[in-house]
Amino acid sequence: MATMTITVETQQESVAVKPCRFCGADLQHTFVDLGMSPLCETYPAPADLNRGEIYFPLHVYVCSKCFLVQLEEYESPENIFSDYAYFSSYSESWLKHADTYCANMQSRFGLGEESFVVEVASNDGYLLQYFVRRNVPVLGIEPAANVAKVAIEKGIPTLVKFFGTQLAGDLVSEGRAADLVLGNNVLAQVPDLNDFVEGLKILLKPEGILTLEFPHLLRLMEHNEFDTIYHEHFSYFSLLTAVNLLEAHGLQVFDVEELVSHGGSLRVFACRAEAKTHPLEQSVARVMEDEERAGLGAVDGYKNFAQRVKETKLALVEFLLKAAREGKSVAGYGAPGKSATLLHYCGIGKDLIEYTVDRNHHKQGRFLPGTHIPIHHPDHIQETKPDYVVILPWNLQSEIMKQLEFIREWGGQFVVPIPMATIL
């Protein structure tokens, strides 16, 4: 028996050790293990409900050499992103964010009719439309055909392709190098990070600017935002790691902005290292110091996260059990990708959250993956008058509370699950 046990352990270890997506070091430290969950952007239709779904592990590692927090790639990007249900244009605050960004970039870097802007993972053109309105020529690159189609119909030139060194090289050889390359919330979704970042550099004109937005790992950890971890997001970045990644590909980060979007994001500004056109802003050192102080510069700094995540689960489940015991009705609001992680990790089904609603009509009439909690039109809340509404996209909390202020008429209350279940 003893021999068998040893053999099994050896096999488990050899299965567990994978190379880091950026630096190639062996991944040996668990950041958090969230159990099994289905792909979060696949919303079953009524006809699919008896078919069963595939669950994948959400076991997150931190690299002890470069501190990239990462998930293995369990499903190919082609399967995840080819019919992606996320349409950016459905959030008002997100549109405003995009408009402001375009205005700022135009004035700061003097973009005009002679410039060329390329957005990688351009979604339905929600951002590029603001450059088009300002007469700045654009190109979107978007792998999800159904989403790209919406952009093209709006008059935004869009290539239905995955981005990497090959596509970047093709564009440059056609004379389409860019003055501005931007990638918002795409870095996390890239399986071959090194090829992607190298492609970004290739696509830049010698004096070109790159901006990347991604959720800030420091805020994810501070606010227990574990539900932003899902299979579509392979990597989670601190500024420390992002700077090293870009430097490894000849790109210099010269400025960084801290944004409130997605629970706390970073927008980094970079240029070719040899360009030296832009002075290094103090913001870069300041954010990196914050991260060092929080312990992100050593593997020990990542150790306590899993325990805090567990506390968040206990608080939410305690609230829902108490509400159920008291005979209160609980509905959800929103059907974001992050709800799949939250609900599966916490073991919450439709016995505890009866239904959810979403403004995106592509999701209405469908079901949340795995839990099969039905997704209705938002009017369903007015019709059923639940005692509690759990806001699943907590990053849009204030916008949603404003829209649903009417639930106060029947004594309804809002619940935010993260960082710790709170009744508002």
Choose the stretch contacting Zn ion; rule: CB under 5 A; options: 58-66, 108-116, 163-171, 217-225.
Answer: 58-66
Distance CA 39, CA 86 (A): 13
> Is the Cβ of residue 28 or residue 382 nearer to Zn ion in the bound state?
28
Q: How far, in Å, are 164, 188, 220, 226, 332 from residue 161 at the CA level?
A: 9, 17, 30, 30, 35
> Is the Cβ of residue 65 or residue 380 nearer to Zn ion in the bound state?
65
Choose the stretch contacting Zn ion; rule: CB under 5 A; options: 11-19, 66-74, 109-117, 166-174.
Answer: 66-74
Q: Is 231 exposed, middle or buried (0-12, 13-18, 19+ CB in 10 A)?
A: buried
The least distance separating Zn ion from the CB of residue 2, rounded to whole angstroms, comes to 36
Q: CA 236: distance to chain centroid?
A: 9
Q: How far, in Å, are 12, 141, 188 from residue 210 at the CA level?
A: 41, 15, 16
Q: 29, 59, 65, 149: which one contacts Zn ion (CB under 5 A)? A: 65
Number of residues forming the site for Zn ion (CB under 5 A): 8
> Is the Cβ of residue 68 or residue 373 nearer to Zn ion in the bound state?
68
Q: For residue 218, how many other CB atoms are within 10 A of its CB?
A: 22
Choose the stretch contacting Zn ion; rule: CB under 5 A; options: 12-20, 94-102, 190-198, 342-350.
Answer: 12-20
Distance CA 262, CA 259 (A): 8
The least distance separating Zn ion from the CB of residue 28, rounded to whole angstroms, comes to 11
Distance CA 237, CA 188 (A): 8
Choose the stretch contacting Zn ion; rule: CB under 5 A; options: 24-32, 163-171, 285-293, 381-389.
Answer: 24-32
> Is the Cβ of residue 21 or residue 97 nearer to Zn ion in the bound state?
21
Q: Is 20 in the site for Zn ion (CB under 5 A)?
A: yes
The least distance separating Zn ion from the CB of residue 10, rounded to whole angstroms, comes to 24
Q: Is 178 in the site for Zn ion (CB under 5 A)?
A: no
Distance CA 213, CA 204 (A): 17
> Is the Cβ of residue 23 or residue 346 nearer to Zn ion in the bound state?
23
Q: How far, in Å, are 186, 294, 347, 397, 409 from residue 196 at the CA level?
A: 10, 29, 36, 33, 51
The least distance separating Zn ion from the CB of residue 84, rounded to whole angstroms, comes to 28
Q: Is 63 in the site for Zn ion (CB under 5 A)?
A: yes
Q: Which two tokens stand for residue 220?
A: 């994810």
Instruction: Quote the Cα angle for 144-146-148, to 5°.
Output: 65
> Is the Cβ of residue 23 or residue 392 nearer to Zn ion in the bound state?
23
> Is the Cβ of residue 101 or residue 196 nearer to Zn ion in the bound state?
196
Q: Is 23 in the site for Zn ion (CB under 5 A)?
A: yes
> Is the Cβ of residue 29 or residue 65 nearer to Zn ion in the bound state?
65
Q: Is 326 exposed, middle or buried (0-12, 13-18, 19+ CB in 10 A)?
A: exposed
The least distance separating Zn ion from the CB of residue 27, rounded to whole angstroms, comes to 8
Show contacts with Zn ion in window 194-213 (CB under 5 A). Answer: none
**Helix, strand or coil, per DSSP, at residue 313:** helix
Q: 66, 323, 330, 353: which one contacts Zn ion (CB under 5 A)? A: 66
Q: Are 240 and 67 in contact (CB under 8 A)?
A: yes
Q: Is 60 in the site for Zn ion (CB under 5 A)?
A: no
Strand partners, 62: 29, 69
The least distance separating Zn ion from the CB of residue 15, rounded to whole angstroms, comes to 19
Choose the stretch contacting Zn ion; rule: CB under 5 A; options: 15-23, 232-240, 255-263, 302-310.
Answer: 15-23
Question: Residue 29: phi, psi to the nearest 5?
Answer: -110, 125
> Is the Cβ of residue 121 or residue 188 nearer to Zn ion in the bound state?
188
Going across the sheet that includes 330-333, the strands are 330-333, 388-391, 413-416, 422-423
Q: Which two tokens stand for residue 53?
A: 């779904």
The least distance separating Zn ion from the CB of residue 7, rounded to whole angstroms, comes to 30
Draw the binding track, 68-107, toward Zn ion (x: CB under 5 A; -: no contact). x---------------------------------------
Please name the amino acid found at residue 9. Answer: E
> Is the Cβ of residue 64 or residue 82 nearer to Zn ion in the bound state?
64
Residues that bind Zn ion (CB under 5 A): 20, 22-23, 25, 63, 65-66, 68
